[in-house]
Amino acid sequence: MRKFFAILSAIVLALVITGLTLYFQGKNLSDLFGGEEQSQLPPELPINEENVELDDLPNLSYSEHLKNGNKLLEQGMYSSAVSQYVKASNLEPQRVEPYLGLLQSHFELRNYNKALANAEKVLELKPGDLDTQFNLILIKVKLSQFEEAKQLLDQFPESTSTNPEALYYKGILNALFSNHDQAKSNLNQALNGASGDLTEKINHVLDSYQDFEVNQAAEELFLDQLLARSFNENQEYEMAIELLKEGLKSRPELRDGWILLGFAYLNLEQYQFALTALDKAYSLDSTWPTTQYFLGVVHKELGNTNDAITYFSSALSNNFEPEVVIQNYLAELYFDSMDYEKAAIAYEEVLKINQQDVEAFVRPVWIQIEYLEDPEKALNIAQSALTLFPESAMSYNLMGWSYIALEDYKNAEINLKKALKIDPELAAAHQNLGLLYQEIGDTDQALEYYQKAYQFDVGGSIGNLAATRYNQLLQDTLTPSSNEN
């Protein structure tokens, strides 16, 4: 979710600010846009040892718990990392390392109060640690304790005065408190030593100032909304919310302010607040596709499938771009509500737009085979994939899968073998070969290919399906037929 919104935000927020510019110039905005469950595996298919719960391992030492925690943190398994760091800290409560790990893990989990408690513990054990002092400032920002964050940053050691990240936060906090000249000075200083993502973030904010200066007749509130947009682009959602709430108190008629506010809450996964803000935007203009799109997203997250479909469909009718995003959402929603005909239609629209990724063809083929029982249509889709991606193992896998559904086992085998020649570790092709050989009664080869599929996708949906079929086939093989005496 977070990554998706980070990618899409630049597109959507650009539309919002286009509307803002026209609003403050006095123009009419309406003129702009007309696995199946994993079964108990037999000894031949043991569960991957890496999947064993670490909490089940007895008598681990401090160092082992710490090492496990660091590994889990690196893998993004933050809740499991917390468990290991807590065990390490219980064994040696005066060691600082577990609390550093807990600080990072809780920060990633958005457990900011717990991150704060661990930052304070680190500073108790290691006074003056600059990294932790700076992390404390970031935590204060996430807790919307902006005045405290600014005070701490102003007290930061002089030796860090040229640190570009510290200067960036000084800049955006000054922007939040309307110290605009100082904010621009901080941000321009930060550019001198910044690189990569930080440079992009700094430029987002500086661009807001430049956009405001270009529109010299615009009122101050326009600057606040431009800055809120840049805060959203930089994933500083708490700061965007603070700025927008103040502005909307005095000017509640600003539709795009409510959209930006809803967007910020949506990214924080505070869906009811997002819904309230976006409903307000919708009440001000029920035809704006950006509002309709975000209302679709919120209702999807809240489990309101019918409402989500309604808003996504309206956004599509009002020419929301990129269209493929809407079609993907509609396809998923129709599929989840078991309306497979409409899901198939939506996926066909996705394939018309997205011809850059062979994986986009997998689910449409699956729906035609497993749910609509139309293997001819599945084969047509697979042939389109092969035309676009003639060197892809997945294209041949989809062809083979479709031929199995058509009971054309000779062509199925030819295509699946081609898939494995291109990619010998493609679990889906091994699984489909297992299915093929099971269909024609070659049990030994079926078991062999199911086992390979499992080995190449342990814990994945294909691996689990292969394991289920392997186990059932093995059981059927070992169980005497009811016709036998």
CATH of the domain at 94: 1.25.40.10
At residue 63, the pLDDT reads 94
Looking at per-residue pLDDT, the higher value among 470 and 47 belongs to: 470
Q: How far apart are CA 42 and CA 35, in angstroms?
A: 18
In-domain check, residue 94: yes
In-domain check, residue 89: yes
Encoded amino acid at 461, one letter:
S
In-domain check, residue 332: no
DSSP alpha helix (H) spans, 337-460: 340-353, 362-366, 375-388, 393-405, 409-422, 427-439, 443-456
In-domain check, residue 11: no
Q: How far apart are CA 316 and CA 330, in angstroms?
A: 10
Q: CB-based burial of residue 173 (10 Å sphere; 0-12 exposed, 13-18 middle, 19+ buried)?
A: buried
Looking at per-residue pLDDT, the higher value among 358 and 481 belongs to: 358
List pLDDT tens digits, range 45-92: 433 333 434 455 567 999 999 999 999 999 999 999 999 999 999 999
CA 65, distance to chain mean position in Å, is 29
At residue 220, the pLDDT reads 80
In-domain check, residue 252: no
For the stretch 448-477, what's the b/e string if a residue is b when 16 or more beta carbons lie within 10 angstroms of its beta carbon? bbbbbbbbbbbebebbbbbbbbbbebbeee
Is the per-residue pLDDT at 137 higher than 60?
Answer: yes
Q: How far is CA 106 from CA 6, 81, 237, 269, 374, in A?
A: 21, 10, 18, 16, 48
Q: How far apart are CA 334 and CA 312, in angstroms?
A: 12
End-to-end CA distance of the chain: 58
Range in 94-108, 161-175, 228-242 with the lowest mean pLDDT? 161-175
In-domain check, residue 233: no
Over the chain, what is the mean pLDDT?
Answer: 87
- Could you list the residue range(s) of the whole structural domain that residue 78 is in? 59-157
Q: Please compute, for residue 290, the number of CA atoms within 13 A of its CA located in the half-sphere on the CB side.
A: 29
Instruction: Indicate if the alpha-carbon torsion angle 164, 166, 168, 170 is positive or negative.
Output: negative
Residue written as tokens 């997205």? 354
Is the per-residue pLDDT at 1 higher than 90?
Answer: no
Q: Please compute, for residue 53, the number of CA atoms within 13 A of its CA located in the half-sphere on the CB side.
A: 4
In-domain check, residue 193: no
In the chain, the number of structural domains is 1
The pTM assigned to this predicted structure is: 0.79
Is the per-residue pLDDT at 236 higher than 90?
Answer: yes
For the stretch 423-446, what's the b/e string if a residue is b when 16 or more beta carbons lie within 10 angstroms of its beta carbon? beebbbbbbbbbbbbbeeeeeeeb
Q: pLDDT-derived band of residue 425, with 50, 70 and 90 as boundaries? A: very high
Structure tokens at 139: 């935590």
Q: What count of other Cβ atoms lies within 10 Å of the Cβ of residue 138?
A: 16
In-domain check, residue 131: yes
